[in-house]
């Protein structure tokens, strides 16, 4: 088999144009998304050239050094996060094409997020993510799958490992609640919102049709709701992590603020904002003890403080009160 370097394009523009073409074909990437990725990758290519390197040769140290350079240039956290996301996606594409046998940007942490507790997403941001998930994918089946993944995660607050590992039996019969197996094989029931149920059933119908076609060709049936080529037979956590970053970019949401875990936070904080009981949320999240819900207690405390400062009769500061 030829080495990755022997089959990779020699000019950085060829890397970028091939990557952007795949983004447009596979994801239906918006023009603005493509332009942003193109600018970011051209800047990285120019920096590599000045340091006698290239897309094919760059390692993790050089990607990190480039991000330090971007910080020194005074670029915002959002811009640096977007550039890292673009570099990650480029190298994921290069790995899939056989141009690289690794992704040097995969395990690099992005710019530090705000220290405000909790790291979560606003409702409009979640709505943009959900809308982008419905549009992301090279085909109708992929778009249905991506929509079901994000709708399920936001509707249930599941951990990403719980989400990707859901058995297909869990959603048979269009249930209003599903059984989730969490840490330590502990089981819990979580309700599904109407949009999540609809998205799951649409994906299930498409998935079952694919399974039926596969069986006619002698392929074994999958027990997973989200089948994948991994050793466990389902979509991997790493794949979904990169997927949600792509969806964030397509939806115009800062990718540095979007991870599977921030959607889990959003599930909890939005329930709190709607008046849900903290202990109920703890049970839905599958938290083993109250200490793990301190971040949500903080949000609750902040909401209560604002409530008191706004409505308490002694909080007006009027003389004589």
In degrees, rounded to 5, the angle at the alpha carbon of residue 168 between the alpha carbons of residues 162 and 169 is 105
37 is catalytic: no
- Given the residues 39, 261, 270, 298, select the one marked as catalytic: 261
Q: What share of the chain is helix, strand, coil (3-state, %, to 5)?
A: 65, 5, 30
Gap between the Cα atoms of 150 and 56, Å rounded: 33
Q: Which of 11, 183, 186, 223 is catalytic?
A: 183
Closest CA to 87 of 67, 113, 72, 111: 67
Q: Which of 80, 100, 264, 265 is catalytic?
A: 264
Those residues whose C-beta lies under 8 Å from the C-beta of residue 269, and which sit 6 or more positions away, are 118, 120, 296, 299
Q: Is 188 known to be catalytic?
A: no
**Given the residues 83, 159, 234, 245, the one annotated as active site:** 159
Does residue 183 carry a catalytic annotation? yes
Q: Is 261 a catalytic residue?
A: yes
- Which token pair is 245? 């970053």
Of residues 60, 77, 188, 287, which has the active-site annotation?
287
Closest CA to 156 of 286, 21, 318, 320: 286
Is residue 287 among the annotated active site residues? yes
* Catalytic residue of the set 37, 91, 154, 296: 296
Q: Which residues form the catalytic set?
A: 159, 183, 261, 264, 287, 296
């Amino acid at each position: 088999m030829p080495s990755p370097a022997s089959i990779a394009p020699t000019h950085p523009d060829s890397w970028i144009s091939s990557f952007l073409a795949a983004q447009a074909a596979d994801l239906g990437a918006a023009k603005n998304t493509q332009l942003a990725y193109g600018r970011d990758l051209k800047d990285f290519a120019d920096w590599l050239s000045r340091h006698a390197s290239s897309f094919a040769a760059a390692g993790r140290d050089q990607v990190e050094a480039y991000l330090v350079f971007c910080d020194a240039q005074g670029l915002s956290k959002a811009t640096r996060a977007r550039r890292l996301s673009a570099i990650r996606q480029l190298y994921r594409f290069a790995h899939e094409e056989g141009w690289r046998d690794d992704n040097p940007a995969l395990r690099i942490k992005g710019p530090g997020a705000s220290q405000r507790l909790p790291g979560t997403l606003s409702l409009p941001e979640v709505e943009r993510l959900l809308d982008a998930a419905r549009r992301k994918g090279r085909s109708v089946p992929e778009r249905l799958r991506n929509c079901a993944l994000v709708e399920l995660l936001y509707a249930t607050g599941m951990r990403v490992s719980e989400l990707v590992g859901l058995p297909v039996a869990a959603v048979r019969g269009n249930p209003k609640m599903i059984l989730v197996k969490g840490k330590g094989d502990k089981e819990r029931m979580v309700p599904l919102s109407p949009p999540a149920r609809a998205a799951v059933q649409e994906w299930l119908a498409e998935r079952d049709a694919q399974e039926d076609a596969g069986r006619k060709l002698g392929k074994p049936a999958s027990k997973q709701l989200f089948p994948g080529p991994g050793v466990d037979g389902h979509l991997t956590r790493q794949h979904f992590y990169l997927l949600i970053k792509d969806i964030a970019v397509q939806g115009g949401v800062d990718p540095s603020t979007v991870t599977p875990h921030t959607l889990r936070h959003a599930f909890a904080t939005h329930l709190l904002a709607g008046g849900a009981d903290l202990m109920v949320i703890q049970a839905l999240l599958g938290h083993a003890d109250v200490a793990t819900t301190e971040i949500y207690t903080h949000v609750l405390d902040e909401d209560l403080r604002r409530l008191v400062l706004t409505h308490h009769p002694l909080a007006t500061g009027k003389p004589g009160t």
